[in-house]
Each structure stands twice: as structure tokens, then as C-alpha cells.
């Protein structure tokens, strides 16, 4: 059984991941990468219609939380989904939303 201190650390890590997920653009990026695989930042900018510095900021947040990885090819940077199991969270969240909506 985990100590209360190690449980608290685990909860803090989970909360940090939840904060990293708490933006529609970041959720869209993860969904896009799941469907398309490694993608250049320039393509993500075009798909989501935002400026490159904004996209880079959101990708950095996802990278710093272990959700995406990057590789460089010359001047281009490609991002891919590092932790595909995070998509299970989205499936669960959608079910929770439907259950709540149906109970109203």
C-alpha cells in the first residue's frame, strides 16, 4: 500500500497532467496527432489556424508533461503522441459527460 505522501505526490502529478489537458487547442493537437502521426509544427499551425508562437507554447506544455515527443529534421520540428493511453481519458470523459447529460 502506498504511503499517504506518495499518494499525494501521485495526485499532484495527475493534477499537473489535467492542467496540461485543460485547453481546447491542446486537446485538438493530441487528437490530431493520434489520427495523423508525427506532424510538423508548420502543418499544425495551418490545421488549427493559429500563429506559430501560440502553437509552440501549447506544444511545449504537452511536451513538458510527457504527452508528446519531438524530433527535428533540418529546420522542421515534428511532434508525435508520446503517451497514446491519454486518449483513454478522453473516451472516459466523453462517457461521463453523456451520463451526466442523460441524467438531467
| CATH class, range 4-103 | mainly alpha
Give the residue among 65, 73, 64, 66 at the shortest CA–CA distance from 39. 73
Q: Which three cell numbers stand for residue 101?
A: 447529460
User: Domain locations in the chain?
Assistant: 4-103
Mean pLDDT of the chain: 93
- Put simply, whether the predicted model's pTM sits higher than 0.85 gets the answer yes
- List, for the chain, all residue ranges whose pLDDT scores fall below the cut of 50: none
Q: Residue 76: which residues within 8 A CB-CB, separation 6 or more?
A: 40, 41, 42
Q: Give the pLDDT confidence score for residue 1 in this predicted structure.
A: 56
CA distance 92 to 101: 14
Amino acid at each position: 500500500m502506498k504511503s499517504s505522501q506518495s499518494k499525494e505526490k501521485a495526485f499532484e502529478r495527475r493534477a499537473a497532467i489535467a492542467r496540461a489537458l485543460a485547453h481546447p487547442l491542446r486537446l485538438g493537437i493530441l487528437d490530431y496527432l493520434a489520427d495523423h502521426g508525427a506532424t510538423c509544427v508548420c502543418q499544425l499551425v495551418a490545421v488549427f489556424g493559429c500563429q506559430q508562437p501560440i502553437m509552440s507554447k501549447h506544444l511545449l506544455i504537452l511536451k513538458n508533461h510527457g504527452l508528446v515527443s519531438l524530433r527535428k529534421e533540418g529546420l522542421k520540428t515534428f511532434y508525435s503522441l508520446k503517451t497514446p493511453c491519454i486518449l483513454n481519458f478522453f473516451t472516459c470523459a466523453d462517457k461521463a459527460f453523456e451520463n451526466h447529460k442523460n441524467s438531467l
